[in-house]
Amino acid sequence: MGLNDTPSGERARIGFFGVRNAGKSSVVNAVTGQGMSVVSDVAGTTTDAVRRAMELLPLGPVVVVDTPGVDDDAGELGARRVAAARRELEGCDAAVLVVDGARGLAGPDRDLLDAFGRRGVPFVVAWNKCDLPAARAALVGLGEREAELAERCVAVSARSGAGVRELKERLARLAAPAPRARRVVADLVEPGDVVALVCPIDASAPRGRLILPQQMTIRDLLDAGCLPLVCRETELAAALAALVGPPALVVTDSQVFAQVARVVPDSVPLTSFSILMLRYKADLVAAVRGAAALDALRDGDRVLVSEGCTHHRQCEDIGTVKIPAWLAAHTGADLRLSFTSGGEFPEDLTPFSAVVHCGGCTLGAREMRARQERAEEQGVPMTNYGVAIAHMHGILRRSLAPFPEALAALDA
């Protein structure tokens, strides 16, 4: 990601869904104005979700997702493709149902419409192949039978480009982000406040740049007219001593939580980037409740450690090295750990006694909330890196001081 790029988690995510050979990939290519997906007359050419971050006018920065056909009947592999397509829906801010207009709505199309409704995903129907008389006639027939659904349809031709502009304008209205009531951090401080940000530089830190939560926090503070003071944990004491007065807030990388807590006076609010990210993306209160489950873990219990991004694992990796070590020290138990990253997140969480998730900085808010909701529905406690680390180091109450609602959940 370049310095001027919008992070993927902050982009509107638009998913294109439909049955095989509806012309889905052709519509995607027409909307994006580029050959994003392979097009073929052979059914099932799109075998995995294809994603691309791009600027889509008039909407702006988006992630476009072309999904496999939801009617793939090629045995177990086909079933996995269908499941993958449906999983993509969890993270979508808007959906496009691409229909072969000449054939009309098929059963799997109807199933997708139901799924859009259940998940509350705004959608538009791209009635493809409108250059064919049969497709135009079928759309007229749909309007006579189901006027409300027909209103959501846009007649398009991926081949000629007809209707593509109208489809893009519809998408812009559907996927345009509502003004967020939440900020990353700026709502916790006042303009002119000094905020100390502790950013360790170790083997897992990307060379030449800061990780995404740090970037987002700095930008939010600058937008709010605050004064971010950035340092490593090794220079924190000197940085605080150089200030005329104490900072309004200290935000640290979770993996040095304990070390930073010993340096920062108790009178200064302290939290972590991971906690800020979770609050920004999803439900911090639910993560606080989930942390209590770590105390009840016993020998043989399974714990899922999940990250929203994919990266090369380092010897000091927080997810696969540090958190397992802290869990072992905290519980004294012989735990069975599983690890997932990126879009890989189990449909069935019931084999696990707890889930420890990252802050989700690369995931959209809808996807992060969907993961939390899945865990809650299945009765599996789910917390996040920052909350779990603070809890295991005995400083969770202090790290939640800036968030009264989450603090109240700790006392409930």
Domain that holds residue 134: 8-175
Tell me whether residue 154 is in a domain: yes
| List of E strands, 67-204 | 94-100, 123-128, 153-155, 194-198
Same-domain pairing of 165 and 27: yes
pLDDT at 332: 96
Tell me whether residue 152 is in a domain: yes
Last residue of a domain, one of 275, 293, 312: 275
Tell me whether residue 250 is in a domain: yes
Nearest-angstrom CA–CA distance, 275 and 288: 10
Same-domain pairing of 46 and 62: yes
Same-domain pairing of 52 and 161: yes
Which CATH number does the domain housing residue 155 bear? 3.40.50.300
**Mean per-residue pLDDT for 245-271?**
95
- With a pLDDT cut of 90, the percent of the chain lying above it is 63
More confident site: 70 or 402: 402
Tell me whether residue 3 is in a domain: no
**Mean per-residue pLDDT for 345-360?**
93
Mean pLDDT of the chain: 87
What confidence category does residue 80 fall into, taking pLDDT thresholds of 50, 70 and 90? confident
Query: Which of 76-80, 102-106, 188-192 is predicted most confidently?
Result: 188-192
pLDDT at 4: 53
Which CATH number does the domain housing residue 210 bear? 3.40.50.11420
Same-domain pairing of 16 and 158: yes
Same-domain pairing of 243 and 304: no
Same-domain pairing of 257 and 337: no
**Mean per-residue pLDDT for 340-360?**
91
pLDDT at 315: 45
What confidence category does residue 384 fall into, taking pLDDT thresholds of 50, 70 and 90? very high
- With a pLDDT cut of 70, the percent of the chain lying above it is 88
Same-domain pairing of 64 and 137: yes
334-345 pLDDT per residue, tens: 999 999 988 788
Same-domain pairing of 17 and 154: yes
Residue 40 has pLDDT above 50, yes or no: no
Tell me whether residue 2 is in a domain: no
Same-domain pairing of 133 and 212: no
Contact by Cβ (8 Å): 65, 51: yes
In this structure, the number of other CB atoms found within 10 A of the CB of residue 147 comes to 9
Same-domain pairing of 252 and 290: no
How many domains would you assign to the chain?
3
Tell me whether residue 181 is in a domain: no
Residue 379 has pLDDT above 70, yes or no: yes
**Mean per-residue pLDDT for 270-280?**
94
113-125 pLDDT per residue, tens: 999 998 889 999 9
165-175 pLDDT per residue, tens: 999 999 988 87
More confident site: 313 or 375: 375
Q: Identify the residue whose tokens are 């600027």.
A: 55
The pTM of the whole model exceeds 0.85: no
Report whether the peptide linkage leading into residue 324 is cis, meaning its omega lies within 30 degrees of zero: no
Last residue of a domain, one of 254, 275, 296: 275
Contact by Cβ (8 Å): 400, 409: no
The amino acid occupying position 214 is Q
Residue 55 has pLDDT above 70, yes or no: yes
Tell me whether residue 226 is in a domain: yes
What confidence category does residue 89 fall into, taking pLDDT thresholds of 50, 70 and 90? confident
Last residue of a domain, one of 131, 155, 175: 175
In order, the DSSP letters of 28-85 are HHHHHTS--S---SSTT---S-EEEEEEETTTEEEEEEE---TT--SHHHHHHHHHHH
Q: What is the rounded end-to-end Cα distance, in angstroms, of the chain?
A: 41
Same-domain pairing of 267 and 347: no
**Mean per-residue pLDDT for 212-235?**
95
Same-domain pairing of 109 and 137: yes
